[in-house]
Amino acid sequence: MNSGSNTKREIFKLRVLGKSYREIAGTLGVSRSTVSYWLADNKESQKIRAQLVRLSNSKDSARVKKLKATLAIKWGTWADAARQEAAKRFNKLLDDPLFVAGIMIYWGEGDSKIENPLRMGNTDPRMIGIFVKFLRVLMDIPVNKIRLGLILYPDLSDKECIEFWQTATGLPSENFIKSHYIKGLHPTKRLSHGICTVTVNSKQQKIKMLEWIDLFAKKNIISR
């Protein structure tokens, strides 16, 4: 019996034991292409391959579930810490008109979904200006973390609108993301400088904001 037959027999033997192509190649000192050549049309090998794939997926699924459970615990702990910090500062900030204005603006105009960034938009430069000041002064958000986006009609100048909202917010042009243009002109409504959206990509700050709104509601509405 030649060496080729011996190699083939050993490959089949290891495959029946449930070994992968890589394990067989490593054990016998042959290339994976050699293993693949001898096992390509072998029905028993194909069954074993299917079993190995299922086993691998099962292990991966278990690892994914474990990772998700770990992350859920970390997220819960981290979110609780953010809520506790917000609650701790709430009563100290409640007498500040800027604080009340900031949370009222977000309550009425902001994105309330926990999975989304801290984000609100409006056409009134006064409202946007106050909210940006709230973010910088009371939430301690660094200037470079505040992003502004504009929604404009096609006949509006992007450059002029950015300059307008720069004046309203006191933020540099670097803070503006690419403007989005609405297709077509509205027959009755006219926005001179578009809609300005303020975004802060921070889950921690989003949790704090929602906690402040909830505490404000409980203090001023629910308790009455």
pLDDT tens-digit map of 156-197: 899 999 999 999 999 999 999 999 988 765 555 567 899 999
Residue 154: per-residue pLDDT: 86
From CA 7, how far away is CA 30, in angstroms rounded? 9
**Is the backbone of residue 25 left (phi > 0), alpha (psi -120 to 50) or beta?**
alpha
**Residue of 70, 93, 73 lying closest to 81 (CA atoms):** 73
Asked if 97 and 182 count as a contact pair (C-beta separation under 8 A), the reply is no
Query: At the topology level of CATH, where does 3-63 sit?
Result: Arc Repressor Mutant, subunit A (1.10.10)
Asked if 181 and 191 count as a contact pair (C-beta separation under 8 A), the reply is no
Parse the chain into domains and list their residue ranges: 3-63, 85-222
Q: What's the pTM value of the predicted model, to 2 decimals?
A: 0.65
Number of H helices, E strands in the chain: 8, 4
pLDDT tens-digit map of 21-42: 888 888 888 888 888 777 776 6
Per-residue confidence band for 16, with pLDDT thresholds at 50, 70 and 90: confident
pLDDT tens-digit map of 70-121: 656 665 677 888 889 999 999 999 999 999 999 999 999 999 998 899 999 9
DSSP strand pairing (147-152 vs 180-181) = parallel
Q: Which two tokens stand for residue 73?
A: 């615990």
3-state SS, residue 158? helix
Asked if 53 and 177 count as a contact pair (C-beta separation under 8 A), the reply is no
